[in-house]
A and B are shown apart, each in its own frame.
Chain A
Amino acid sequence: MRTSALWRDVRFWRFAGQAIAVLFVLSLLGFLWANLNRNLAQLGIRPSFRFLQSQAGFAIGESLIPFQSSDSYGRALLVGLLNSLLVIVTGIILATLVGVTAGIARLSNNWLVRKLALVYVEVLRNTPLLLQLFFWYFAVFLTLPKPDNPVRWLGFSFSNNGIILPGGLQLSPEFSALLLGLSIYTATFIAEIVRGGIQSVPKGQWEAAQSLGLKPAQRMRFVIFPQALRAIVPPLGNQYLNLAKNSSLAIAVGYPDLYAVASTTFNQTGRAVEIMVLISLTYLSISLLISLLLNLYNRRVQLVER
Chain B
Amino acid sequence: MTSKPLPRPTRSSVAIRPWLQRNLFNGWFNSLLTIALLIVLGGAAINLMRWATTQAQWAVVTTNFRLFLVGRYPVDQLWRVWTALAIVLGLIGFWVSTGRRQRAAGRIKAQRPLPPLLLPLVFLLILWLLGGGLGLSRVGTNLWGGLLLTLIVAVISTVLAFPLGVLLALGRQSSLPVVQGFSTVYIELMRGLPLIGILFMAQVMLPLVLPGQPNIDRVVRAIAGLVLFNAAYLAESVRGGLQSIPRGQTEAARALGFNLPLTLYLIILPQALRIAIPAIVGQFISLFKDTSLLALFALLELTGMARSILAQPQFLGRYAEVYLFVGLLYWVFCYTLSMLSRRLEASGGSIHSRHTTR
Q: Which residues of A contact B (CB under 8 A)?
A: 14, 17-18, 21-22, 25, 32-33, 35-36, 38-40, 42, 109-113, 116, 122-123, 125-132, 134-135, 138-139, 142-143, 189, 235, 238, 241-242, 245-249, 251-252, 259, 263, 266, 272-273, 276, 279-280, 283-284, 287-288
B residues contacting the other copy or chain, number (CB 8 A): 61
Asked if B182 is an interface residue, CB under 8 A from chain A, the answer is yes
13 pairs of residues in contact across A and B, judged by CB atoms under 8 Å? A33-B209, A39-B207, A42-B213, A127-B327, A127-B330, A128-B292, A129-B292, A130-B295, A135-B319, A245-B194, A263-B200, A273-B208, A283-B192
Residues of A within 8 A of B196 (CB): 248-249, 251, 259
Asked if B303 is an interface residue, CB under 8 A from chain A, the answer is yes
Q: Which residues of B contact A (CB under 8 A)?
A: 23-24, 26, 30, 33-34, 37-38, 41, 175-179, 182, 189, 191-197, 200-201, 204-205, 207-211, 213, 285, 289-290, 292-293, 295-296, 303, 306-307, 310, 317, 319-320, 323-324, 326-327, 330-331, 334-335, 338, 353, 355-358
Residues of B within 8 A of A18 (CB): 176-179
Cβ–Cβ contact B285 & A126, under 8 A: yes
**8 Å CB contact of B335 from A116, A126, A132, A134:** A126
**A35-B209, A111-B23, A131-B323 known; A276 vs B30 contact (CB < 8 Å):** no
**A40-B208, A110-B30 known; A259 vs B178 contact (CB < 8 Å):** no
| Bound form: Cα–Cα A36–B356 in Å | 34
Residues of A within 8 A of B189 (CB): 284
Residue of B nearest to A270 (CB): B204
**8 Å CB contact of B319 from A17, A109, A134, A266:** A134
* Secondary structure dominating the interface of B: helix
Beyond the given pairs A17-B176, A126-B335, 14 more chain A to chain B contacts, judged by CB atoms under 8 angstroms and listed by A's residue number, are A25-B182, A35-B208, A38-B211, A39-B207, A110-B34, A111-B24, A113-B37, A128-B330, A130-B292, A130-B296, A131-B303, A131-B306, A245-B193, A251-B196
Residues of A within 8 A of B207 (CB): 39
Cβ–Cβ contact A131 & B197, under 8 A: no
Distance (Å) between the CB of A8 and the closest chain B CB?
11
Distance (Å) between the CB of B10 and the closest chain A CB?
18
**8 Å CB contact of A259 from B26, B194, B292, B307:** B194
Cβ–Cβ contact A110 & B33, under 8 A: yes
Cβ–Cβ contact A280 & B26, under 8 A: no
**A116-B37, A126-B330, A130-B293 known; A272 vs B205 contact (CB < 8 Å):** yes
Residues of B within 8 A of A32 (CB): 209
Distance (Å) between the CB of B350 and the closest chain A CB?
14
Cβ–Cβ contact B289 & A127, under 8 A: yes
Distance (Å) between the CB of B143 and the closest chain A CB?
23
Residue of A nearest to B295 (CB): A130
Residues of A within 8 A of B290 (CB): 128
Interface centre among B24, B179, B197, B303 (most CB of A within 10 A): B197
Cβ–Cβ contact B30 & A109, under 8 A: yes
**8 Å CB contact of B194 from A36, A42, A113, A248:** A248
Distance (Å) between the CB of A86 and the closest chain B CB?
17
Cβ–Cβ contact B356 & A238, under 8 A: yes
| Bound form: Cα–Cα A130–B307 in Å | 12
Residues of B within 8 A of A280 (CB): 193, 197
**8 Å CB contact of A36 from B200, B208, B324, B353:** B208
Residues of B within 8 A of A127 (CB): 289, 327, 330-331, 334
Cβ–Cβ contact B326 & A131, under 8 A: yes
Residues of A within 8 A of B327 (CB): 127, 131-132, 135
Cβ–Cβ contact A279 & B209, under 8 A: no
**8 Å CB contact of A130 from B177, B303, B320:** B303
Residues of B within 8 A of A235 (CB): 353
Distance (Å) between the CB of B277 and the closest chain A CB?
19
| Bound form: Cα–Cα A263–B319 in Å | 25
| Bound form: Cα–Cα A188–B234 in Å | 22
Cβ–Cβ contact A248 & B208, under 8 A: no
| Bound form: Cα–Cα A276–B179 in Å | 26
Cβ–Cβ contact B331 & A123, under 8 A: yes
Cβ–Cβ contact A35 & B211, under 8 A: yes
Residues of B within 8 A of A251 (CB): 196, 296
Residues of B within 8 A of A249 (CB): 196, 293
**A18-B177, A123-B331 known; A109 vs B23 contact (CB < 8 Å):** yes
Residues of B within 8 A of A134 (CB): 303, 306-307, 319, 323
Residues of B within 8 A of A129 (CB): 289, 292
**8 Å CB contact of B197 from A111, A283, A288:** A283
Residue of A nearest to B171 (CB): A21
Residues of B within 8 A of A122 (CB): 335
Residues of A within 8 A of B209 (CB): 32-33, 35-36, 39
**8 Å CB contact of A284 from B34, B192, B324, B357:** B192
Cβ–Cβ contact A110 & B176, under 8 A: no
Residues of A within 8 A of B293 (CB): 130, 249
Residues of A within 8 A of B194 (CB): 245-248, 259, 283
Cβ–Cβ contact A126 & B356, under 8 A: no
| Bound form: Cα–Cα A143–B213 in Å | 45
Cβ–Cβ contact A126 & B331, under 8 A: yes
| Bound form: Cα–Cα A242–B194 in Å | 8
Cβ–Cβ contact A283 & B193, under 8 A: yes
Residues of A within 8 A of B41 (CB): 116
Interface centre among B24, B194, B207, B211 (most CB of A within 10 A): B194
Cβ–Cβ contact B37 & A189, under 8 A: no
| Bound form: Cα–Cα A288–B193 in Å | 11
**A112-B34, A139-B320 known; A259 vs B197 contact (CB < 8 Å):** yes
Residue of B nearest to A137 (CB): B319
| Bound form: Cα–Cα A135–B213 in Å | 39
